[in-house]
């Protein structure tokens, strides 16, 4: 049976099958589900394997699963990083399951995957596709996790949402920071920006985007107004590289597809507030221009790491000016 991940996440007890496969790109969701399984079955004996462990010790694992003692705890098996190579084991062990449960975890499995096909068509197995989270799903996690906190406004939620990049693992890390810092359950927006290291990062992002748009007036003004911190230089370089990599993804798509459709197809998605800037930037940056900047950032990174005498601020500012000029070339 095929289950919806959001239903399973909220109620794991809905899974009645003895063997269930979780697969997909949402590693954060899969990690959360693993934790919930361990919590629900905390009174059982939980054994964790990778596919390679099972394949190297197939007979031993098979024997351990099927040999049930009246006096032993119920056993729960978690097998990670699975793929088609495990299909023979799955087909052999499934009819032998009685009180035991086996949960399998995988990354992306294509439609042609034999393992995926087996679970989708079997009446005795469950399968849960774990697709990327959307904005609504991430907002719901934030609201549920921080329920009862003062200061949890729409503005606060959007700040946490935007900083997560719609990646659940990053979101969970940020929520842990918030829970640790605001132990009185009173969220102050300014302190939240500092905690998430967003204020300076946001200022630089505005500067970076102006340069990538080739907006010389705005870039020059922001260069004078923005604090460039030497210890954040690698972050600044990475910020350019990450943005350029996303723009390069657009270049790899069919030219006949309109820009809005292209942007909507990107994963992880571009945050809605950022889409207008991203669309304009995509018109400025060809693959060859992107490669020039990426080569330059690589050279600058080597200089930053190997030459302690270099003026780091000048180096970063030169990069920004060069990017702005190249955008208009």
What confidence tens digit (pLDDT) does each residue in 72-121 have? 788 999 999 999 999 999 999 999 998 899 999 999 999 999 999 999 99
What is the reported pLDDT for 256? 84
What is the reported pLDDT for 268? 76
Is the separation of the CB atoms in 77 and 102 below 8 Å? yes
Describe the crossing of helices 135-145 and 154-164 by its angle, rounded to 10 degrees. Answer: 120
* Nearest-angstrom CA–CA distance, 163 and 155: 12
**Does residue 72 have a cis bond before it (omega within 30 degrees)?**
no
5-129 maps to which CATH number? 3.40.50.300
Q: How confident is the model at residue 258 (pLDDT cuts 50, 70, 90)?
A: confident
Domain range list for the chain: 5-129, 135-195, 199-327
Question: What's the mean pLDDT when you consider all of the chain?
Answer: 90
306: pLDDT strictly greater than 90: no
Residues in contact with 46: Cβ distance below 8 Å, sequence separation at least 6, in sequence order: 38, 75, 76, 77, 78
CA 266, chain centre distance (Å): 13
What is the reported pLDDT for 84? 97
Q: How confident is the model at residue 201 (pLDDT cuts 50, 70, 90)?
A: low
319: pLDDT strictly greater than 90: yes
What is the reported pLDDT for 198? 62
199-327 maps to which CATH number? 1.20.272.10
What is the reported pLDDT for 147? 94
What confidence tens digit (pLDDT) does each residue in 26-71 have? 999 999 999 999 999 999 999 999 999 999 999 999 999 988 776 6
What confidence tens digit (pLDDT) does each residue in 116-164 have? 999 999 999 999 999 988 888 899 999 999 999 999 999 999 989 988 8
- Ramachandran assignment for 3, one of left (phi > 0), alpha (psi -120 to 50 degrees), beta (any other): beta
Highest mean pLDDT among 145-149, 197-201, 224-228, 231-235: 145-149
What confidence tens digit (pLDDT) does each residue in 277-300 have? 999 999 999 999 999 999 999 998
Alpha helices in 285-311 (DSSP H): 287-306
- Strands in 125-129's sheet, in edge-to-edge order, are 45-50, 75-80, 101-105, 19-23, 125-129
What is the reported pLDDT for 233? 85
CA 181, chain centre distance (Å): 23
Q: How confident is the model at residue 199 (pLDDT cuts 50, 70, 90)?
A: low
196: pLDDT strictly greater than 90: no
What is the reported pLDDT for 200? 55
* Nearest-angstrom CA–CA distance, 291 and 258: 23
* Nearest-angstrom CA–CA distance, 298 and 302: 6
* Nearest-angstrom CA–CA distance, 171 and 32: 12
* pLDDT (average), residues 304-314: 81
């Amino acid at each position: 049976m095929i289950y919806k991940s959001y239903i399973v996440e909220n109620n794991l007890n809905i899974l009645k099958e003895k063997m269930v496969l979780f697969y997909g790109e949402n590693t954060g969701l899969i990690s959360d589900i693993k934790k919930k399984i361990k919590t629900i079955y905390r009174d059982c004996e939980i054994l964790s394997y990778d596919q390679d462990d099972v394949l190297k010790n197939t007979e031993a694992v098979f024997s351990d699963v099927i040999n049930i003692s009246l006096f032993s705890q119920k056993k729960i098996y978690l097998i990670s990083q699975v793929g088609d190579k495990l299909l023979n084991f799955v087909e052999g062990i499934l009819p032998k399951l009685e009180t035991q449960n086996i949960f399998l975890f995988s990354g992306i499995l294509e439609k042609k995957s034999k393992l995926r096909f087996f679970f989708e068509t079997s009446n005795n197995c469950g399968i849960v596709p774990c697709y990327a989270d959307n904005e609504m799903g991430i907002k719901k996690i934030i609201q549920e996790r921080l329920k009862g906190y003062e200061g949890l406004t729409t503005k606060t939620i959007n700040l946490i949402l935007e900083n997560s990049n719609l990646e659940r693992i990053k979101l969970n890390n940020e929520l842990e920071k918030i829970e640790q810092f605001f132990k009185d359950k009173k969220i102050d927006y300014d302190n939240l920006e500092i905690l998430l290291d967003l204020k300076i990062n946001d200022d630089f992002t505005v500067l970076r985007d102006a340069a990538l748009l080739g907006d010389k007036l705005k870039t020059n003004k922001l260069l004078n107004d923005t604090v460039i911190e030497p210890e954040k230089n690698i972050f600044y370089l990475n910020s350019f590289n990450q943005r350029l990599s996303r723009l390069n993804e657009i270049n790899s798509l069919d030219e006949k597809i309109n820009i809005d459709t292209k942007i909507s197809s990107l994963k992880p998605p571009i945050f809605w507030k950022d889409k207008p800037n991203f669309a304009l930037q995509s018109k400025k940056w060809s693959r060859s221009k992107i490669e020039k900047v990426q080569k330059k950032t690589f050279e600058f990174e080597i200089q930053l790491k190997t030459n302690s005498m270099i003026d780091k601020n000048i180096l970063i500012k030169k990069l920004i000016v060069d990017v702005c000029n190249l955008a208009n070339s």
